Chain A
Amino acid sequence: MTSTLPSQPKDGDLAVSARPSAQGRFGRYGGQYVPETLMPALAELEQAAAEAWNDPAFTAELDRLLHRYVGRATPLYEAERLTAHYRRPDGGPRIWLKREDLNHTGAHKINNALGQALLALRMGKKRIIAETGAGQHGVATATVCARFGLECVVYMGAEDMRRQALNVFRMRLLGATVQPVTAGTATLKDATSEAIRDWVTNVESTHYILGSVAGPHPYPMLVRDFHAVIGRETRQQCAEAFGRLPDVLLACVGGGSNAMGLFHDFVEDVSVRMIGVEAAGDGVDTGRHAATITEGRNGVLHGAMSLLLQDADGQVQEAHSISAGLDYPGVGPEHSYFREIGRAEYAAVTDQQALDALRLVSELEGIIPALETAHAFAWLETLCPTLAAGTEVVINCSGRGDKDVNTVAEKLGNQL
Chain B
Amino acid sequence: MIANGEFMETKNMPKTTISSQFQRVKTEGRIALMPFVMAGDPDLETTAEILLSLQQSGADMIELGIPYSDPLADGPVIQAAAARALSSGTTPAGVLNMLAGLRSQLSIPVILFTYSNPLLNRGMERFCDEAAAAGAVGLVVPDLPLEEAERLSPLAKERGIDLVLLVAPTTPADRMQRIAESSRGFTYLVSVTGVTGERTVMEDRVGLLVEQLKKLSPCPVAVGFGISGPEQVRQVRCWGADGAIVGSALVKRIGAAAPEAVVEQAAGFCQQLRQAVD
Interface residues of A (CB under 8 A from B): 1, 23, 31-41, 183-184, 189, 193, 196-197, 200-204, 297-303, 305, 308, 310, 313-316
**B147 in the interface, Cβ–Cβ < 8 Å?**
yes
User: Whole-angstrom distance between the alpha carbons of A184 and B117 in the complex?
Assistant: 17
CB distance from B116 to the nearest CB of A (A): 5
In chain B between 81 and 137, which residues have their CB closer than 8 angstroms to a CB of chain A?
Answer: 83, 86, 91-93, 115-123
Nearest neighbor of B143 in chain A, beta-carbon distance: A33
Cross-chain contact A201 with B193 (CB below 8 angstroms): yes
In chain B between 145 and 203, which residues have their CB closer than 8 angstroms to a CB of chain A?
Answer: 145-148, 166-172, 175, 179, 190, 193-195
Instruction: Give chain A residues whose Cβ lies under 8 Å from the Cβ of B70.
Output: 184, 189, 193, 301-302, 316
Cross-chain contact B193 with A314 (CB below 8 angstroms): no
Cross-chain contact B72 with A197 (CB below 8 angstroms): yes
A-B contact list, 19 entries, CB within 8 Å? A36-B142, A37-B169, A39-B168, A40-B175, A189-B70, A193-B72, A200-B72, A201-B195, A202-B193, A203-B193, A204-B170, A299-B120, A300-B117, A305-B120, A314-B68, A314-B118, A315-B68, A315-B69, A316-B117
**Known interface pairs A34-B143, A35-B168, A36-B171; A200-B193 also in contact (CB < 8 Å):** yes
Interface residues of B (CB under 8 A from A): 68-70, 72-73, 75, 79, 83, 86, 91-93, 115-123, 142-148, 166-172, 175, 179, 190, 193-195
CB distance from B153 to the nearest CB of A (A): 15
Partner of A33 from B123, B144, B190, B193 at Cβ < 8 Å: B144
A-B CB proximity, top 4 nearest:
A314-B121, A201-B194, A314-B118, A37-B168
User: Whole-angstrom distance between the alpha carbons of A299 and B121 in the complex?
Assistant: 7
Cross-chain contact B195 with A300 (CB below 8 angstroms): no
Nearest neighbor of A24 in chain B, beta-carbon distance: B145
User: Whole-angstrom distance between the alpha carbons of A298 and B115 in the complex?
Assistant: 15
User: Whole-angstrom distance between the alpha carbons of A310 and B68 in the complex?
Assistant: 11
Nearest neighbor of B165 in chain A, beta-carbon distance: A36
Cross-chain contact A39 with B117 (CB below 8 angstroms): no
Partner of A313 from B118, B144, B195 at Cβ < 8 Å: B118
Cross-chain contact A314 with B122 (CB below 8 angstroms): yes
Instruction: Known pairs A201-B195, A314-B119; list 10 more (Cβ under 8 Å).
Output: A37-B168, A39-B170, A193-B70, A197-B195, A204-B193, A299-B120, A300-B116, A300-B120, A310-B117, A315-B69
Nearest neighbor of B166 in chain A, beta-carbon distance: A36
CB distance from B195 to the nearest CB of A (A): 5
Cross-chain contact B144 with A316 (CB below 8 angstroms): no
**Known interface pairs A301-B70, A313-B91, A313-B92; A37-B194 also in contact (CB < 8 Å):** yes
Instruction: Give chain B residues whose Cβ lies under 8 Å from the Cβ of A313.
Output: 91-93, 118, 121
**Known interface pairs A300-B143, A313-B91, A313-B92; A34-B68 also in contact (CB < 8 Å):** no
Cross-chain contact B117 with A41 (CB below 8 angstroms): no
Cross-chain contact A203 with B143 (CB below 8 angstroms): no
Instruction: Give chain A residues whose Cβ lies under 8 Å from the Cβ of B83.
Output: 183-184
CB distance from B113 to the nearest CB of A (A): 13
Residue picked from A23, A200, A305, A314, most chain B C-beta under 10 Å: A314
CB distance from B125 to the nearest CB of A (A): 12
Instruction: Give chain A residues whose Cβ lies under 8 Å from the Cβ of B168.
Output: 35-37, 39
Instruction: Give chain A residues whose Cβ lies under 8 Å from the Cβ of B172.
Output: 40
Partner of A1 from B72, B118, B120, B170 at Cβ < 8 Å: B120
**Known interface pairs A40-B170, A313-B92, A315-B86; A34-B120 also in contact (CB < 8 Å):** no
CB distance from A268 to the nearest CB of B (A): 28
Nearest neighbor of B118 in chain A, beta-carbon distance: A314
